[in-house]
Amino acid sequence: MSDPVRSLRAWVRELACYATIASVSVAATPIIPRADASACKVAAVNNIDLSAGFGFEQNCAPSVGTLNAFMIFVDFSDQPAIETTQSLHDFFLPAAAEWYTTSSYGALSLNVTADTSRFYRMPVTAASYKWDRGLTYQVHQKYIQDALDAYGKTIPPTDVFYVVPTANAAAISFSPTFMGDVKTRAGTHVAKSSVTFGYDAYEAWKYLVLNHETGHTMCLPDYYPLDGRATGLFIGGWDLMGLISGPSPDYFAWDKWRLGWLLDEQIDCVAQTGSTTHTLTPLEKKGGSKAVVIKHNATNVLVAEVRSTSGLDAASCATGVLLYTVSTNVNSGEGPVRVLDATPRSNGCSGDKLNDAVLSLKGTSSYTASEWGVKVTVVSESNDGVKIKVDVS
């Protein structure tokens, strides 16, 4: 028989040997710890117009819970109404409210109270506002105060004041948002901001113009160039704050995070060099990890998210991992968000070169943003999500 004590000692020595080998093996493969999500919440720059960072200091409309709005309808002596107020109400609602319910995963409810009793006649002609010459802060304020005078009634406490003109008012040619305290001429506070709809809603953008402009009241910037260059220049048709009629209008994961629609635990933050792997689920579906945010510096991040043909993006002409950069020190309308074109040799789809910019195992599977020191590679795709590898140098 063997000595049981000697056997036990041998077994202990063997176990210690295995432990040593295991520890050496683990040490040979460095583990990059995930950063806390707060490390990637780059702050807004408050002298920048609608900075795309966290904590922008302006009187923004609520993005979680209930956003209350009040809607009136107006016409003009030179362009009188040719339809009913109810038909214009139904043009926007309930579709615009349902859009927010879907995009926010139920986190935001748009509650619009509308006075559909009649059109309220504005005190001057539509042409006199000279909308076609651009719109100054002062002219826009006058238009809103004229509408309040025409209404002549007390408006209940509200976040956003909607002024809807007759579809016959071609002179009110576009739909701007008035960012600032909305008051009557007597100084009575009415709302945090106002959206004044224009002819472009009826001619081109349909009800989605309400979602785009209300996005501004929640302090989201414009992602298309305001200087007249091609609308899809910076982001193609990937977000409603760019081209309203784009095939993929759902808000970017970055903004859903800022708005409170995505939780910190749904964001993977990368804030140091090394290699990490991540599994993302489509942005349009509720639940799961939604984005990898790679911090570059105090004002810039690179974001990876998965877009599909689900939900609000049913018309998307390409699906996969979308990459874009966010710069919090760039003004609204000057490219604070820019989609990275992973398929630069393609002609795009649905009318814009960037609409097929995604990474996928079916096409381009890897992209290097050399100036950022970031490489993103699609590892696998399944019903459970898309696995990507992120290398930061």
- Is residue 389 within 8 Å of residue 379, measured between CB atoms? yes
Q: Tell me, yes or no, whether 60 lies in a domain.
A: no
User: Which has the closest alpha carbon to 207: 164, 168, 178?
Assistant: 164
Give the Cα separation of 258 and 41 in Å (integer).
9
Residues 107 and 78 in one domain: yes
pLDDT grade, residue 133 (50/70/90)? confident
Q: Tell me, yes or no, whether 140 lies in a domain.
A: yes
Residues 212 and 317 in one domain: no
Residues 77 and 125 in one domain: yes
How many structural domains compose the chain? 2
Residues 152 and 117 in one domain: yes
Residues 83 and 205 in one domain: yes
| pLDDT exceeds 50 at position 170 | yes
How many C-beta atoms surround the C-beta of residue 61 within 10 A?
Answer: 21
- Is residue 299 within 8 Å of residue 305, measured between CB atoms? no
Residues 107 and 250 in one domain: no
Reduced to 3 states (helix: H, G, I; strand: E, B; else coil), residue 182 is strand
Tell me, what's the pLDDT at 1? 40
pLDDT grade, residue 33 (50/70/90)? low
Amino acid, single-letter form, for residue 303? V
State pLDDT tens for residues 347-389.
999 999 999 999 999 999 999 999 999 999 999 999 889 999 9
Residues 44 and 79 in one domain: no
Q: Tell me, yes or no, whether 115 lies in a domain.
A: yes
Give the Cα separation of 171 and 211 in Å (integer).
22
| Over residues 257-283, mean pLDDT | 97
Q: Tell me, yes or no, whether 334 lies in a domain.
A: yes
Final residue before a domain boundary, out of 183, 217, 251: 217
pLDDT grade, residue 34 (50/70/90)? low
Q: Tell me, yes or no, whether 6 lies in a domain.
A: no
Residues 190 and 242 in one domain: no
| Over residues 65-83, mean pLDDT | 98
Residues 69 and 44 in one domain: no
Residues 201 and 263 in one domain: no
- The sign of the dihedral angle between the CA atoms of 165, 168, 173, 174 is positive
- 132 against 44, higher pLDDT: 44
The DSSP line for 318-376 is: --EEEEEEEETTS-TTS-SEEE--S-TTS--BTTBGGGG--B-TTS--EEEETTTTEEE
Domain with 75, as residue range(s), is 65-217
Q: Tell me, yes or no, whether 58 lies in a domain.
A: no
Q: Tell me, yes or no, whether 3 lies in a domain.
A: no
Residues 126 and 188 in one domain: yes
Q: Tell me, yes or no, whether 31 lies in a domain.
A: no
In the 8-state DSSP scheme, what is residue 132? G
Final residue before a domain boundary, out of 158, 192, 217: 217
Tell me, what's the pLDDT at 32? 53
Residues 270 and 304 in one domain: yes
